[in-house]
């Protein structure tokens, strides 16, 4: 069901994500040269080490998403959920701009491939989770201020949707743990 509320929430989240991305780019541009040199050195070292490394996001993703889920039930999670969307946009903007600064257009291509491989599924299901969390928070706010009765079917559907998305992210993270570094190293030729 694509309702007007869904459109507004997706648009709002898209704006927050875009603002985060732009600020991540601007942040790197305005860093002093010494800080940029340290970042560039770390990125170059990371690229050299990625060949034999495993990308392990399993525990952080499960902890963060389950914490956001629980906090959304108590309404205090709304600002944290929005900040988390902003943070993901900021980190992607910062990462892409760092790679562009170091490697030029090849860095942009590598960065896009890297983000699609490591964060594509995660970001897709994160948006579904965030929309569901915001709807749960809205339900709780209506219950708190208007003393409206909670529609348990709606709430159960949203909770099931969140749990399914968390499970898919978990499975994706397991697959990434065992294969992402090998897949990413295929594209290392872009950085030469």
**Confidence check: pLDDT of 183 > 90:** no
Hey, CA dihedral for 93, 96, 100, 101, is it positive or negative? positive
Mean pLDDT along residues 94-103? 90
> 85: exposed, middle or buried (C-beta count within 10 Å: 0-12, 13-18, 19+)?
buried
pLDDT digits (tens, 9 = 90+) for 17-59: 999 999 999 999 998 889 888 988 888 787 777 766 677 788 8
Residue ranges covered by each domain of the chain: 4-50+58-191
- Hey, what are 59's tokens? 């525990």
- Hey, what are 45's tokens? 């070292």
> 161: exposed, middle or buried (C-beta count within 10 Å: 0-12, 13-18, 19+)?
middle
pLDDT at 164: 92
Mean pLDDT along residues 165-174? 90
pLDDT digits (tens, 9 = 90+) for 126-153: 999 998 888 888 888 887 777 777 777 8
């Amino acid at each position: 069901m694509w309702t007007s509320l869904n459109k507004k929430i997706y648009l709002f989240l898209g704006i927050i994500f875009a603002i985060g991305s732009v600020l991540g780019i601007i942040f790197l541009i305005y860093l002093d040269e010494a800080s940029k040199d340290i970042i560039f050195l770390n990125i170059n070292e990371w690229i050299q080490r990625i060949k034999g490394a495993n990308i392990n996001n399993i525990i952080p993703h499960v902890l963060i998403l389950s914490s956001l889920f629980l906090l959304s039930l108590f309404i205090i999670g709304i600002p944290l959920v929005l900040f988390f969307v902003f943070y993901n946009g900021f980190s992607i903007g910062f990462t892409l701009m760092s790679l562009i600064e170091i490697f030029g257009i090849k860095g942009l291509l590598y960065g896009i491939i890297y983000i699609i491989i490591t964060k594509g599924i995660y970001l897709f299901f994160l948006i579904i989770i965030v929309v569901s969390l915001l709807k749960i928070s809205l339900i709780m706010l209506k219950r708190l201020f208007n003393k409206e009765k909670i529609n348990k079917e709606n709430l159960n559907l949203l909770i099931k949707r969140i749990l399914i998305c968390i499970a898919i992210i978990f499975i994706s993270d397991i697959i990434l743990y065992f294969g992402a570094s090998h897949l990413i190293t295929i594209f290392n030729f872009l950085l030469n």
